[in-house]
């Protein structure tokens, strides 16, 4: 059965600007399917982004969208959510935009447990600005600013966000769009700060420097390392370093949500 994307896309903005084979298109498709499964009215959805390849996604979505400054998407999204707590607010960003210049906003949004879903398209590199290494570039991988290999250990984003207080933490990957859509749907439905890392491919900037210039080869490389959470947990510790778990990694449903707590304070002070 075919799926009708027309209500969710600005067709006049197409074709898109991403490289052929880019994983961001898979992420956007999974997002739209999740919106549709939840029967969210596009008029009640706000999608916010910062700067970078991933940040161009809202421009193609036929809903309330905001393309903001580098690293500040969560600040704008917080303002929207505080003004319209009944609305559905989603932030989509790349690994550099969200965890480098935007890293401070990320951990504090998680700490507050505000009801926003944060999707990080993690392709291990700054794609649009020239291929600089990011906080998630693997140790030893090459980048424009690390021609002899990255010397810095990378963030484990789910661990970082769980430690910061996110009440929903998950990971998917672009090699399994159906699974990704299911994970996104669960994150969107969660009442609190939901963080979803999507392991994605940038074969143009990351791949060609690390012997994976073909997008299908790079997506296969990602898929081969992805393991369901239960299977990953049964692995020997030495083997875990070669793979990464996917699925809902952590969820806490009874933690107070920030806008609800704020509304209670307003009512108390207005009594």
pLDDT at 156: 96
The pLDDT-based confidence of 250 (bands split at 50, 70, 90) is very high
| Distance, CA of 26 to CA of 175 (rounded, Å) | 9
pLDDT tens-digit series, residues 200-237:
999 999 999 999 999 999 999 999 999 999 999 999 99
Give the pLDDT mean for 139-143. 97
Assigned token pair, 38: 């939840």
Q: Is residue 155 part of a domain?
A: yes
Q: Is residue 14 part of a domain?
A: yes
Question: Residue 244: which CATH number?
Answer: 3.40.50.970
Question: Does the pLDDT at position 2 exceed 80?
Answer: no
33, 64, 188, 228 from 182: Cα distances, Å: 9, 23, 10, 14
Q: Is residue 123 part of a domain?
A: yes
Q: Give the chain's domain count.
A: 1
List of residues 6+ apart from 141 with CB closer than 8 A: 124, 133, 149, 150, 206, 209, 210
| Distance, CA of 271 to CA of 76 (rounded, Å) | 30
Q: Is residue 132 part of a domain?
A: yes
Q: Is residue 19 part of a domain?
A: yes
pLDDT tens-digit series, residues 40-67:
999 999 999 999 999 999 999 999 999 9
Distance of CA 172 to the CA centre of its chain: 9
Q: Is residue 1 part of a domain?
A: no
pLDDT at 135: 97
| Distance, CA of 36 to CA of 116 (rounded, Å) | 18
Q: How many residues does the chain have?
A: 271
Pick from 38, 53, 56, 62: nearest CA to 94: 53
Residue 160: count of CB within 10 angstroms of its CB: 19
The pLDDT-based confidence of 3 (bands split at 50, 70, 90) is confident
Owning domain of residue 258: 6-270
Q: Is residue 36 part of a domain?
A: yes
pLDDT tens-digit series, residues 71-122:
999 999 999 999 999 999 999 999 999 999 999 999 999 999 999 999 999 9
List of residues 6+ apart from 61 with CB closer than 8 A: 8, 9, 10, 28, 32, 42, 47
Q: What is the mean pLDDT of the chain?
A: 96
Q: Is residue 143 part of a domain?
A: yes
> Taking a C-beta distance cutoff of 8 angstroms, is the pair 200, 24 a contact?
yes
């Amino acid at each position: 059965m075919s799926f009708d994307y027309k209500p969710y896309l600005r067709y006049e903005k197409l074709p898109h600007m991403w490289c052929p084979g880019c994983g961001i298109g898979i992420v956007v498709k999974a997002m739209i399917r999740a919106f549709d499964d939840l029967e969210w009215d596009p008029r009640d959805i706000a999608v916010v982004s910062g700067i970078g390849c991933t940040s161009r996604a809202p421009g193609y979505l036929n809903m309330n969208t905001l393309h903001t400054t580098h690293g500040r998407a969560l600040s704008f999204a917080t303002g929207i959510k505080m003004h319209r707590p009944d609305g559905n607010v989603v932030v989509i960003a790349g690994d550099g935009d969200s965890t480098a210049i935007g890293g401070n906003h990320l951990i504090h949004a998680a700490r507050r447990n505000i009801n926003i879903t944060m999707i990080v398209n993690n392709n291990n590199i700054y794609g649009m600005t020239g291929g600089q290494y990011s906080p998630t570039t693997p140790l030893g991988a090459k980048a424009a600013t690390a021609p002899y290999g990255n010397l810095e250990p990378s963030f484990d984003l789910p661990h970082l966000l769980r430690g910061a207080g996110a009440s929903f933490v998950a990971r998917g990957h672009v090699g399994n769009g159906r699974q990704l859509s299911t994970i996104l749907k669960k994150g969107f439905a969660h009442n609190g700060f939901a963080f979803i890392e999507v392991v994605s491919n940038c074969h143009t900037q990351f791949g060609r420097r690390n012997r994976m210039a073909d997008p299908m080869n790079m997506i296969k490389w990602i898929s081969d390392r992805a393991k369901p959470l239960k299977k990953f947990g049964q692995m020997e510790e030495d083997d875990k370093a070669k793979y990464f778990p996917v699925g809902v990694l952590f969820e806490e449903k009874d933690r107070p949500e920030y806008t609800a707590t704020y509304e209670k304070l307003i009512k108390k002070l207005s009594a």
